[in-house]
Structure 1
Amino acid sequence: MLDETAAGVFTIAVTPFLPDGAVDWDSIDRMVDFYIAQGATGLTILGMMGEAGKLTAQESVDVVKRVVARSSVPIVVGVSAPGFAAMKTLSDAAMDIGAAGVMVAPPGSLKTDTQILGYYHNTAEVLGNAPFVLQDFPLVTNVVVPTSVILQVVADCPTCVMLKHEDWPGLDKISALRAASDAGARRISILCGNGGLFLLEEMLRGADGAMTGFAYPEMMAQVVAAQQAGDLAHARDIFDAYMPMVRYEAQPGLGLAIRKYTLAQRGVIAHDTVRKPGGALSAATREEVDAIAQRQAAKLKVLDL
C-alpha cells in the first residue's frame, strides 16, 4: 500500500492507442516494462496524461488490470471524477485489483479554502481505507490550494499520504511544507510534476522525487539518485543535458502528443495516437523533436551518461 515514505520516480504513464483509437494492449505491456527498466519506483496511470477522461468506465478498469498484472512496482490510479459515485467505483475496483493507492485532483468548481478542505474531507470518507494522493495542479484545475489547506487536509485525513506537487511557481510551497513537518506536522511524501521542469530545485527543497511523464524517465531516475547520493554536480550535468527536451515538451496543448511521438520513436509504444479530441503533431514539430533528440544523444555521449 502507498504510504508517506514513497520516494523516487512514479512515472506518469500514457495510454497507448492504435491508429483507430482502440486501446493498444500490447504496447501497454511493453511500456510498463520500459518504465521499470528505466528506473521507475512506481507508476501512475489514468491521470491527465493518460487521457483518462477519454476512456470508458470499463476501459479504465481493464487498463488497471493490465498494468497491475504486468508491473513489479506500486501502481497509483487517477480516480478524479465530477462526482463521488464514479470516483468511489473506480477507486474500489482499482484497489481490489491490486493498486497501491489512488490520486484525486480538485474539481474546478471549488473557489474557497473552505470548499477545498470540505471536498477532501468528503474524498477521504468516500475512498475509505484507500491511500490517496492530493494532486495540486492549479495551471490545469484552476484551483489554488494554499499550503495551509494542504497541511489541514494532511492533519485531518490520515489516508492522504502524498502530494503531487505541480504548482507553478511552487518551490516555496515545498519549503513551507517541509518546514511545517520539521516543526511537528505529519510528514507526507511529495512527488513533483510539471514534466520535470524544476525537478532538481524541487529535490533540493525537500521533495522525495518525481511523478511526471517526461518521455525520458531515465533522466528523472538518474537525477533523483545523484541528488540523494550527494553528487549535486552530476545531478546538474544530467538535468542540463535533457533540459532542451523538457522545455520543448512543456508546450501547453502539445506536451502529450510530443511525449507519445517520442515514446513511439523509442520503440516503447507502437503508435503516437492521441485519442480524439486531440490532434497529431505537424511535420515541422516532429522535425524539431527529432533534432532535439539527436543533440541530446550527442551531449549524453560526451558526458558518458
Structure 2
Amino acid sequence: MKNIRSIIWIKKEDRLLQGLSLTGILPVLPTPFRGDGAVDLPAMERVVDFALACGANGLVFPGFASEVDDLTADERATLLRTVVARVAGRVPVIAGASAPSAEEAIAHSRDAVAAGVTTVMIQAPKSVGVGAEAVGAFYRTIAEAVPEISIVLQNAPAPRGSDLNAETIHAIVAGNPSITYVKEETLPSGPPISAILKGKPAHLKGVIGGGGARYIIDEYQRGACAAMPAVEITDVHVALDRAFRAGDVAKARELYMRTLPLLVIQANYRMRFTKHVLSRRGVMDNDVVRAKLLTFDDYDVAEIDAWLDLARDLLTGEGAHG
C-alpha cells in the first residue's frame, strides 16, 4: 500500500503531465537600464513587444542573460510582473528562480506564482554539489514548498554551473514529478541531450537547448523540443525553427550559417551585444549593463554592424529596420 506522500506525488505527476507544453523559440529577455542605471520598465515592455512580433513561442525572464545576478529581489519581481502583464497570456512565460539557496529559490518561485507564472527554471547552486541525492533533495525542497510550480532543471556548464551528467539528471528527475523539462547547456550539449532523452522518465516532457543557439541544429537533430537563445535575432531563430519543423533542414542550416558570426561575437560580449543589437533595431535606447562585461571599441562596433547589415534581409520583426 502506497503511503500518503507517494499518493500526493502521483496525483501531482498526473496534473503536471497535463500542464504547460514548451516548444520552439523561447528567448531569454535582457533587463533594460536607463542611463542612470535604474531599470527601464517602458523599455522592458518594448522588448516583450519585439519578441512577440518576431513570433517567439514563449519568453524567459529572468535568466543569466537578464543580468539576474545584478538585480535586487524587488527589481526582478517587478520586472517579471511587467513581462507577464505585457504578454497578457499570449505565450507562456518561464520565470527564472535560480538562487544560492533553496530558501531564496522558493521565494522567487512564490513571486512567480503571485505574478501568474507556474513554470520556473532553476539551476542548483554549486554549493549543493553534483551528487544525485543532494541535488535531488534541493529540487524536492522547492517542489514541496511551492506545489503549484513545474520546474525546468537548468544544467549549466562550469564555472557557472555544475555540469551534471545524464545519469545524475535521470536520477533527480525520476524522483521529482515537478521537473517536467531540462535545459541542457553543458558543452558540447548534443551528446547529453541524446543521453537524457534516452530512457527518460515519463513525466519529463522534453529537453531544451541553450548555449545562445550556437548549437541549435545539432540540438534539434537530437530531439531538443525548444531553444532558449538571447532575444536580439528572435525573428531569424523563429524562421529557423519553423523551417526545421517543416522538414526543410537545408533552409534551417542556411539561416544558422548566416547568423552564426553574430552569435560567435555574442558569446564574448553577452548582454552588451544583445543590447547593442536591440538598440540598432530600434527596440532599446542604449547598451547599458550592470554586469562586469567586456566593453566595445570602434572596431568591435564596426564588425558587429557589418555582420548585422549582411543579415538585414532576415530581420523581419517589429523595429528590425529602426
TM-score above 0.5, yes or no? yes
Structure 2, unpaired ranges of 5+: 1-15, 317-322
Report the CA distance between 1:3 and its aligned residue. 4.0
Map residues 265-304 of structure 1 onto 2, 5 A cutoff: 265-275=280-290, 277-278=292-293, 280-297=295-312
Q: 1:140 to 1:262 in 2, by over 3 A?
A: farther
Q: 1:195 to 1:24 in 2, by over 3 A?
A: same
Contact 1:9/1:42 (CA < 8 Å) preserved in 2? Answer: yes
Aligned to 1:189: 206
CA distance in 1 between counterparts of 2:287 and 2:40 reads 11
Pairing 1:77–2:95 present: yes
* TM-score, reference length from structure 1: 0.91
Question: C-alpha deviations, 1:191-232, integer Å up to 9, x for none?
Answer: 211110010110010001211215201122111111111111
Report the CA distance between 1:4 and its aligned residue. 6.3
Report the CA distance between 1:185 and its aligned residue. 4.4
Contact 1:11/1:42 (CA < 8 Å) preserved in 2? Answer: yes
Report the CA distance between 1:297 and its aligned residue. 2.7
CA distance in 2 between counterparts of 1:185 and 1:299 reads 38
CA distance in 2 between counterparts of 1:279 and 1:273 reads 12
Contact 1:147/1:173 (CA < 8 Å) preserved in 2? Answer: yes
Report the CA distance between 1:187 and its aligned residue. 3.5
CA distance in 2 between counterparts of 1:157 and 1:132 reads 10
Pairing 1:43–2:59 present: yes
Which of 165, 169, 180 is 1:146 aligned to?
A: 165
CA distance in 2 between counterparts of 1:299 and 1:141 reads 33
Q: 1:62 to 1:293 in 2, by over 3 A?
A: same
Aligned to 1:248: 265
Residue identity matched to 1:231: D
Q: 1:178 to 1:279 in 2, by over 3 A?
A: closer
Which of 213, 219, 227 is 1:210 aligned to?
A: 227
CA distance in 2 between counterparts of 1:150 and 1:88 reads 21
Report the CA distance between 1:44 and its aligned residue. 0.5
Query: Secondary structure in 2 aligned to 1:67?
Result: helix
Aligned to 1:223: 240
Residue identity matched to 2:308: A
> Sequence identity of aligned pairs in percent?
30
Q: 1:56 to 1:81 in 2, by over 3 A?
A: same
Residue identity matched to 2:91: V
Q: Which moved more, 1:242-251 or 1:114-123?
A: 114-123
* TM-score, reference length from structure 2: 0.86
Query: Secondary structure in 2 aligned to 1:109?
Result: helix
Number of residue-to-residue matches in the alignment: 297
Q: 1:299 to 1:144 in 2, by over 3 A?
A: closer
Q: 1:187 to 1:102 in 2, by over 3 A?
A: closer
Residue identity matched to 1:282: D
Aligned to 2:27: 11
Q: 1:150 to 1:60 in 2, by over 3 A?
A: same
Q: 1:278 to 1:242 in 2, by over 3 A?
A: closer
